Chain A
């Protein structure tokens, strides 16, 4: 259900965080969809994000950074319309197979449990266009909730 009294959408919140997070912007990330049950985020293949110059495969670190950011957005989607900062507590990624050089990757991140202080997030990344097939990476993460007051200061 959409509450029309809220003047912004989950998509707006996610795009806003991309605008303010310089490193994620530098990675070339793009939000494809933002719903209560999760976000879909795209990371392009780019020459400067390559990890092995002999093969042209994206660096695991670039995939990690994109997924960590996607997890934060999944938190924002779950917490919507409230806004909190959610620093990562721990993050584990499994690289199931290398994405094809030259191909973008798409991550789906979902906050499947929200507690008073902690959020639990599951993430899956596929090669773009192969979202029905085997993922290239899966991850599990926890984040901590830092509530903000109206002035944007951390309350707890």
Chain B
């Protein structure tokens, strides 16, 4: 299984496989309906407007948990593509600030790796709906990359 993940990542890097395949192998990512768009080497993650992800029916607004899960998964895929020996990173902690209501519309996310160490990665994730400059949420997360004692 891990070998097939490695092969898939290799293929994604070479442009021989779609990044979407990487997302679609994760059941929870399919549950949320996450999509990814690659422009050159830049990845934008998309959480398409979906009534299943609604948290506040009156507004209506997306569930904060769905947005958080989307951002966490975006970061995991992002790091996987940066790793020399790709292995699904484990989330150590995830901290999110909600800045605006996530309205019932498409949501986008981009990731920035602040530090990619041998064992730990620190990632910043930003999500927006109308304009990139107006994020609805920002998050910071740490991931465990390897459990080897070195």
Name A residues whose Cβ lies closer than 8 Å to a Cβ of B: 20-24, 26-27, 47-55, 58-62, 64-69, 85, 87-95, 98, 152
Contacts and interface: CB of A to CB of B under 8 A. Distances in A.
B77 to A, nearest CB: 11
Interface size class of B (residues with CB under 8 A): 35 or more
Contact of B25 (A27, A47, A53, A95): A53
B94 to A, nearest CB: 5
Contacts of A91: 64, 68, 95-96, 98
Contact of B52 (A26, A60, A89, A95): A26
Contact of B31 (A48, A89, A98, A152): A48
Interface of B: 1-2, 5, 25-28, 30-32, 51-58, 62-66, 68-70, 72-73, 76, 88, 90-98, 101
Given A22-B51, A22-B54, A68-B65, A54 B27 contact: no
Contacts of B97: 89-90
Contacts of B64: 65, 68, 87-88, 91
B57 A21 contact: yes
Given A61-B32, A66-B65, A69-B63, 11 more contacts: A22-B63, A48-B27, A51-B27, A53-B27, A58-B28, A61-B72, A68-B68, A87-B64, A91-B98, A92-B94, A95-B91
Given A50-B28, A92-B93, A22 B57 contact: yes
Contacts of A68: 63-65, 68
